[in-house]
Structures are given as C-alpha cells and as structure tokens.
C-alpha cells in the first residue's frame, strides 16, 4: 500500500471551524482514492491543522485534484472555511492545494494545486474541463448590473450577504463595518449635535467641540486651515493631490490680470512665472450647472471655481486668485489675497467645498472604488484560480465587492449619509459621476504619465508624487517579475484567450467601450500587460490609500472640507462678514453627521492587511515566490526612506507609507 499524507488547514477567522463531517478524495492522472472522513468524531476548530493519511493500492500518478465534500452534522448547516491542504506523496513530493474559501454543507469543492498555468498549457482533459467549468460557473455567479447610465457597471447583488461563498464576507468585517457606522457619532462625542439645526455662532465654538483624541495632523489642520500656505499645500499632499496642473496660458474664462497679482510674485510678473512653469491651476468646471442638494429642508449650493496658484522660490504653493463660477463678469468677481480677510477666506471655503464634491465622487468613488469593483468582477468572471493573473490580483480584490455594495447602500442611496448631508447628494451625484466617467483616461490612472501630463515633475515638496512614483516602480517590478515568468513571449499574451476576454470585459463594462479613454481592448505584448496590471494594483492599494486614509484628518475639521454650503456665492466684494461665513458653513447637524462619515471612511479595520502582506499561499513556484519576497523587501526600504523624510518636515506625509496602505479597496 502507498500512503499519501495530508495536512488540512482550517482558517483562523471567526467561525471558520465546522461541526460538519468533511470527506476528502485524491484524484490523479492514473486513478483516484476512496473518499475518507477527515473528522469522524469531532469538528474542526478555527486555526487548526488536521493530519490525515490516505492509502492506495497503487500510485495515483500526477495529482490533479483534491475533492472536498461537507455533510451536515445532525441536520445543521455549518459552513467551513478551509485555507489549504498540503499533500505529501509516497515519492516525497510536497504539493500545496490552496482553497481560502467557505465550503457549504452538502456541497463539493474540487481544488487544484498551487502551480499556475495559462489556458493553453492545460493539456490534461480533466484539467481543461474543470477550468472551463470554473469560468462558466463564475459568469453565472457574478453578473454585471447598471448602477446608473454612463458610469462603470457594478456587481449584481443587493447586499454583501448576497454574494457567493467563494468571496463571502468575514463575520468580523461585516459586523465591524456596521458597528463603526452606527457608533461613529458616539466615538466622536457628537451625538448631541447630530440633530441640532443651529448654525455655528463662531469658529471658536467649533474649536470647543470635543471629538476625542486628535492626531497631530488633525490638530495641524485645525490650526492652519485658513492660511494660504496650507490651502495650497493640500493640492499637493492633501486627500486630493490629483486636481492641480501647470498653467502655461490662462483660460479665456479666467481673466486674471497683471495688476491683480502685482506684488504677489515678488519682482516678477504673471507672464514670466507662467513661462518658468511656476503657475498652476485647479479648475472645477466638472461642477458647472449642477444644482445643490436640499439638506435638512434647506437648499445647498454648488460652485465650479477656478483657482490659480503660484509655486514661490521657497517651494510653497500659494493661491493667487479665485473665481467662483466659470463665466466671468461683474457678478462673478475674481477674489485675491489682497481683498478683505473675510472675502478671501470665504472664496477659499467655496473651493474647499468644491473639493469635497469632486474628491468624493470622482477621485474617491469612481477612480478607486468603482474601477476596483470593475477589475474584481472581470477577474472573477474570466480568470479561473489556476491562472497566474488571478493569483496575482486576488489579494487586491479582498472585500472590494462587499465594501462597494455597502457604500452604495449606506452612503449614496436615497437614505445614505452622503445623500442626506452633502451638497452633491441627490440628482447631481449621478450626473457628476457621468461627467467624471467621461473624463477618464488610461494615462490619468498611470501615475508617472499623470504627473507628466499635469506638468508636475519639478514641483517642490510634492510628497504624494515622490512616494507614489517609487511605489509605482516597486509594484511594476513585482508584477513584471511574476508575469514574465509565465508569459515567455508576446505570443503567449496574444493567445491567452482568458486574458483577452478579461481586458475586453474591463473595456466594455468599466470604460463603456469608449476608445478615447486609451484603455486597451486587447493585449499584444508582455510590456503592455505588465503596465496595465501595475495600474490595477496601484489603483486598488496605493491610490485608494492616498485619497481615502486622510479623510478624517484633513476633513474632520469641517471648515477645511465642508460637505455643503448654505448660501450662494457672493456676487460682489467687500460685503462678506464673519457672520456671512458662519451662515454659509454647514449647521451643527450637517457638521456632526459629515464628520461621522469621514471618520467611518478612514478608520482602519482590525483585519487590515498592508500592501505586500499576502497570508494566502496561492503561488508555490520558486520565481513568483522570490518576486514576492523582493517586493516585500523593496516596500520595507521605501518605508524607511519615507520615515526619514517625514522626520524632517512639520507635517509628515504618511498616506503612502506601505504599512498604511491596504492591499485592496476594503474600507
């Protein structure tokens, strides 16, 4: 008799164990074993390892599958989360069969070894049939849905609990998200203000609000929010470092004159500074014509401002001029730092409110959440588990579908917090989302190209760019190291039908067949594939961290990131008072509920997995495993570099430190 020794690993997450009876069978090229009970007398505990010996009269040949079957114990449904099964053959070979999913009672599951293969490399008829069945079944399980016309499509599922077991939410994650949402107001000591419709009587009254322990960044924002230097700094290193671009020619609808900025540029002129590359622009034209939401029975107002900035010789980014509407005229003045203190401060507040709308809808919701959802659905529908790209992307899809569903239900639904407490809620939100989708380009999603297109290569103190480019290159090196092992030539890429269907699905359902986006419809070279996959991973991890993780630190102090403004923009200068500003800012209820939202969105979960932390053993070949170790080493080196830099600056930029970046869009 020949002996196969199996080690069965149950997951460590809560409720992973089971009282169901589990049967195991080995299937090889030359035969199969009998079904054998794994746990004949007792259940399987979470985090446990159970050893089992299976004896056969003859060799099974090359092992193809491990079959798992779960039978109810005393008629009770009791799902089991299996991490992996390790098999030692009679010949001494050690083979890993990854699982990392829930197995329902009275269901069967067939596992393949961790060795990755491309579709044309599976020659064995049984492997080919199983691969085809996996793809077909997943296309039935994961269906596309239309959230709104003209925007990326989403997963068809009403709730996170409605998703298939293959990606089922952990009990811990689900309850934690709901708990956090319900308790955010309490944790911030804001429950008393949540239903208070009064306006703030002074900025000092806001300072008196106790929101618990504040981070150093939160305190810095609270202290410096009204200063020009910090206002400009946020376009580089705040939660939306993607709007600013170099301005070589003033837009025709933004008639800033030399006289207006005289004295603000030292001895230089606006024309000279534009030629030197020191003038920058943020244009919120995407908001033009959108009607503000009605919040708590009161009309709110949206503006589409233009903001001109100057990078001075000391490396500070300073605002030069602000126009609050797109059409210049007597009732749409250009506000300047030389205007009255209140005029200038209110103009900056309108820009920050526009930032809230564009950041949350375009750069956060669309460009990280919705696109990552598209990448995830396409991966689940077209890449079976033996595919190397599935294994590479799997850690970067963790919880993405669940979080997206819950965000749609709890944040942007008719009764969601964004709808209820922001100026961009209601009918204008899907319209802004459509406009943002129309503006999507492949190059804007690839950080090196985005930086170049926006003319920001030489801007001083642009930490998002510095850290982001290094991260992009590290991810690109890792992706190349893995994929070039499997794709030996461009021809391998071209004849991988699963891969080609994957990218076409992304182009169709994510980018709506819009050729002007520059998104590839197919892959012709290994280089093109590596670049696209780098973008996918960067979007789900680093880019989401950059626009998400600082939301409470930069936006918890409401005047710096107001979700709604209750008065239309001023049509004349010299009429704004401190009372005007207070009446324009959100009232106490909107403030409290908006603070709770940004607190929820930026709170790190207890099962957070940092970039490069991949506990699921999906690869077992030497080269991909070595590439992962090198990836982790590079991330640690970058973390040390960023830490050294941050020790020398007043406001450390921490959002792209690898230890603060989650592998996927999971919050």
Distance (Å, whole) CA 94 – CA 664: 31
Distance (Å, whole) CA 99 – CA 102: 9
pLDDT of 164 reads 86
Instruction: List C-alpha distances in Å: 100 to 21, 378, 610.
Output: 18, 20, 18
Please check whether residue 243 is in contact with residue 546, taking contact to mean a CB–CB distance below 8 angstroms: no
Distance (Å, whole) CA 168 – CA 82: 13
pLDDT of 209 reads 87
Instruction: Give, for 27, the enclosing helix (H) or strand (E).
Output: strand 21-28
Contacting residues for 219 by C-beta, under 8 A, at least 6 apart: none
pTM of the model: 0.96
pLDDT along the chain (667 residues), means of 10: 96 85 96 92 85 96 96 79 96 96 88 97 96 96 96 94 76 55 68 92 92 92 98 98 98 98 96 98 98 96 98 97 98 98 98 98 98 98 98 96 90 90 94 98 98 98 98 98 98 98 98 98 98 98 98 97 98 97 97 91 87 95 98 98 98 98 95
pLDDT of 177 reads 56
Per the listing, tokens 């956060």 go with 364
pLDDT of 191 reads 83
622 burial level (CB within 10 Å; 0-12, 13-18, 19+): exposed
């Amino acid at each position: 008799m020949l002996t196969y020794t199996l080690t069965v690993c149950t997951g460590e997450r809560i409720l992973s164990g089971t009282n169901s009876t589990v049967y195991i069978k080995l299937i090889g090229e030359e035969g199969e074993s009998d079904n054998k009970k794994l746990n004949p007398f007792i259940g399987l505990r979470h985090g446990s390892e159970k050893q089992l010996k299976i004896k056969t009269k003859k060799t099974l040949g090359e092992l193809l599958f491990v079959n798992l079957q779960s039978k109810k114990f005393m008629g009770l449904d009791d799902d089991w989360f299996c991490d992996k099964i390790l098999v030692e053959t009679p010949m001494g070979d050690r083979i890993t069969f990854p699982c990392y999913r829930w197995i329902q009672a009275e269901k069967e599951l067939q596992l393949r070894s961790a060795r990755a293969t491309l579709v044309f490399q599976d020659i064995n008829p049984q492997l080919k049939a199983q691969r085809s069945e996996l793809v077909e079944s997943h296309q039935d399980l994961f269906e596309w849905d239309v959230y709104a016309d003209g925007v990326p499509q989403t997963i068809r599922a009403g709730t996170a609990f409605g998703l298939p077991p293959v990606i089922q939410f952990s009990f811990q994650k689900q309850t934690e998200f709901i708990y956090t949402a319900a308790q955010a107001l309490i944790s911030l000591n804001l429950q008393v203000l949540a239903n208070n419709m009064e306006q703030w009587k002074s900025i000092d009254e806001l300072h008196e609000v106790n929101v618990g322990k504040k981070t150093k960044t939160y305190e810095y924002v609270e202290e410096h929010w009204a200063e020009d230097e910090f206002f400009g700094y946020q376009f580089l290193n705040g939660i939306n470092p993607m709007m600013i671009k170099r301005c070589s020619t003033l837009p025709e609808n933004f008639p800033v004159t030399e006289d207006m900025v005289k004295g603000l540029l030292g001895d230089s002129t606006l024309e000279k500074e534009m030629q030197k590359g020191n003038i920058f622009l943020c244009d919120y034209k995407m908001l033009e014509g959108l009607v503000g939401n009605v919040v708590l029975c009161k009309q709110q107002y949206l503006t589409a401002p233009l903001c001109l900035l100057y990078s001075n010789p000391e490396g500070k980014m300073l605002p030069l001029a602000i126009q609050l509407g797109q059409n210049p005229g007597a009732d749409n003045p250009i506000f300047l730092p030389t205007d009255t203190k209140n005029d200038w401060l209110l103009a900056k507040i309108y820009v920050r409110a526009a930032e809230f709308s564009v950041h949350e809808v375009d750069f956060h919701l669309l460009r990280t959440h919705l696109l990552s959802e598209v990448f995830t659905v396409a991966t689940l529908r077209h890449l079976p588990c033996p595919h190397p790209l599935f294994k590479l992307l799997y850690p970067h899809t963790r919880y993405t579908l669940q979080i997206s569903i819950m965000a749609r239900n709890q944040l942007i639904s008719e009764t969601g917090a964004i709808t209820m407490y922001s100026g961009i809620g209601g009918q204008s939100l899907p319209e802004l989302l459509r406009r943002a989708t129309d503006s999507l380009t492949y190059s804007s999603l690839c950080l090196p190209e985005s930086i170049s297109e926006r003319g920001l290569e030489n801007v001083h103190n642009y930490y998002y760019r510095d850290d982001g480019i290094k991260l992009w290159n590290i991810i690109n090196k890792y992706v190349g190291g893995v994929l070039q092992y499997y794709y030996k030539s461009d021809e391998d890429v071209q004849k991988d039908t699963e891969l080609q269907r994957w990218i076409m699905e992304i182009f169709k359902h994510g980018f709506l067949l819009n050729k002007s986006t520059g998104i590839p419809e197919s892959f012709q070279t290994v280089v093109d594939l590596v670049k696209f996959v780098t973008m996918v991973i960067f979007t789900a991890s680093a880019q989401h961290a950059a626009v998400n993780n600082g939301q409470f630190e930069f936006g918890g102090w409401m005047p710096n990131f107001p979700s709604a403004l209750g008065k239309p923009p001023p049509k004349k200068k010299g009429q704004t008072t401190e009372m005007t500003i207070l009446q324009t800012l959100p009232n106490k209820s909107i403030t409290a509920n908006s603070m709770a939202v940004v607190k929820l969105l930026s709170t790190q979960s207890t099962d957070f997995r940092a970039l490069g932390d991949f506990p699921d053993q999906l690869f077992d070949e030497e080269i991909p495993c070595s590439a992962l170790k090198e990836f982790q080493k590079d991330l640690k080196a970058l973390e040390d570099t960023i830490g050294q830099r941050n020790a020398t600056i007043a406001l450390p930029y921490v959002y792209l430190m690898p230890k603060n970046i989650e592998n996927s869009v999971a919050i």
